[in-house]
Amino acid sequence: MDIQLEKYKLMEWLINLKDESIISKLKNIKNGLSTSSDWADDVSETEKLLVEAGLKDIEEGKTFTHEQVMKEINEAYGL
């Protein structure tokens, strides 16, 4: 997808738009977007705790290789 072309098409559509309800909805979407530049600011405390637990598991070597996971899935589902 050519992102610049898609943005141009959207701008052209928006310029010709007459429906105020759609414009209002678009404004709500725009205003609802996070202005934060760090995704971690939008993560809940529970999600942060889960990430920290995962990092601790990695440090402690409590991990599985891709091959191990795929083997278990194949065995469990007969794939």
pLDDT tens across the length of the chain (79 residues): 899 999 999 999 999 999 999 999 999 888 877 666 677 777 899 999 999 999 999 999 999 999 999 999 999 998 8
Which pLDDT score, from 0 to 100, does residue 77 have?
A: 94
Q: Which residues contact 30 (CB under 8 A, 6 or more apart)?
A: none
Which pLDDT score, from 0 to 100, does residue 35 have?
A: 67
Which pLDDT score, from 0 to 100, does residue 73 have?
A: 95
Which pLDDT score, from 0 to 100, does residue 63 have?
A: 96
Which pLDDT score, from 0 to 100, does residue 30 have?
A: 87
pTM, entire model? 0.43
> Which ranges of 17-64 does DSSP label H, i.e. alpha helix?
20-32, 45-59
Burial track 1-17 (b if 16+ CB lie within 10 A, e otherwise): eeeeeeeeeeeeeeeee
